[in-house]
A and B are shown apart, each in its own frame.
Chain A
Amino acid sequence: MKPDANDKPAAGKHPLTSDLLLLPDGRILVHNLTPAFAGLLKELNPDDEQIRLRSLPSTEHPT
């Protein structure tokens, strides 16, 4: 999650940023999904196809 987009550093060592919105109906909306966060979401819901496809090792991503 990001503290303040205006303050985010952009070069050198800096935290990676993903945003997510949890909806009351159980849906999760994700923005700026990093590979690390995709891995976390996959652990939470291994059956979700969207996340499964996005958490593959880079060599196995579909074309």
Chain B
Amino acid sequence: MISMVQERRSPARREKLGVQSRDVRDCSKGTLKRELQRAGPEAGVPRSTLARERAAAARAALADCRLCAHECGVNRLAGEAGLCHAGAEAHIFMAQTEVSDELELIPTFAIALSGCDLRCDFCITGGPSWNPRAGEPVRLEILAGQARAALADGARTIMILGGEPTIHLPAALEIVAALPDDAKLVWKTNAHGSAQARALLDGMFDIWLADFKFGNDACAQRLAKVPDYVRVVRENLLWANEHSELIVRHLLMPGHVECCWQPVAEWLASSLPAVKVNLRSGFWPAWHSARHSDLRRTVSNSESAQAWRIARNCGLNLVE
């Protein structure tokens, strides 16, 4: 048995949005600025044009960085670092065509940005995810050429991920601006972004592929050093479901079926009953997993069976 470890808005959904108007804080001046009073794609403005405008707004926002829910408020343009340690420029640690994601998304050309705002000790890409300077600086022309080649070669989607791409929203939006307007784009996220980030992302990606890792704040704090996790993720998922297609992933962890998966499954069943859910049981004890006695092994067959029973009992819309 072989298991996958991890990990566009349709025209109809875009049309539903209508004209968008968003308040975006101009952090460099400390004033509210109506930055994005532009018609959406349905009014004939190409996504790439909108992305270019929003990338500029996102870059300005780095002066008082509140892109993720930590809302550190540091000036990344001046070299200050928040909890993610990221600077103003993004690095890429991987860009290649992959087939390990959801079947409806593959083949996908995956672009992985270094750095993350969470500190999951079990991170499968811990090295580059915890080091925002890993890899190479983003070179838009090369990257866009690779993406176009992948699409021509049969890639169905282009996926921007991390680490966590939210902390590099300026670069992510610059990448979107360099991609074909008709490419199907996937935003692979930990769903720990801020309201500001969501406003900048609105209409940019066709599909949000979002993790819901922990079912309670205690596990989130202990294993990923993140407070107030459940509320933030729920908020992001509800928003994403309204503004794009959404697929929610849960990576089943050993010993966390009842404390994490069960509450996640029950909340999804009650709050997002039709949403696509991918339950992944291929946990592997990577990175700093050995720091936690519960994470020093893979998921047992009985745990996996229990998790699937919960999913079925909740009536979840499961996808592979």
CB within 8 Å of B: which residues of A?
4-6, 8-12, 16-17, 19, 21, 23, 26-35, 38, 41, 45, 48, 50-51, 53-55, 57-59, 61-63
| Contact between chains at A35 and B99 (CB < 8 Å) | yes
- Which of A5, A61, A62 sits near B93, CB closer than 8 Å? A5
What's the nearest-Cβ distance from chain A to residue B248, in Å? 19
What's the nearest-Cβ distance from chain B to residue A2, in Å? 9
Most chain-B Cβ atoms within 10 A of its Cβ — which of A31, A45, A62?
Answer: A31
CB within 8 Å of A: which residues of B?
1-6, 91-100, 103-104, 106-107, 110, 112, 124-125, 127-128, 131, 134-136, 139, 142-143, 146, 153-156, 282, 284, 298, 320
Binding site secondary structure of chain B: loop
| Contact between chains at A31 and B107 (CB < 8 Å) | no
What's the nearest-Cβ distance from chain A to residue B132, in Å? 11
- Which of B6, B93, B110, B153 sits near A8, CB closer than 8 Å? B93
**With a CB–CB cut-off of 8 A, which chain A residues contact B298?**
23, 27, 29
| Contact between chains at B103 and A61 (CB < 8 Å) | yes
| Contact between chains at A34 and B143 (CB < 8 Å) | no
| Contact between chains at B94 and A50 (CB < 8 Å) | no
**With a CB–CB cut-off of 8 A, which chain B residues contact A29?**
2-3, 5, 282, 284, 298
**With a CB–CB cut-off of 8 A, which chain A residues contact B146?**
11
**With a CB–CB cut-off of 8 A, which chain B residues contact A57?**
154
19 A-B pairs within 8 Å (CB atoms) are namely A6-B93, A6-B128, A6-B131, A6-B135, A8-B135, A11-B92, A19-B5, A29-B298, A30-B282, A32-B98, A33-B4, A34-B99, A35-B99, A38-B99, A45-B2, A50-B1, A54-B99, A54-B103, A62-B104
What's the nearest-Cβ distance from chain A to residue B191, in Å? 20
- Which of B92, B110, B139, B156 sits near A61, CB closer than 8 Å? B156
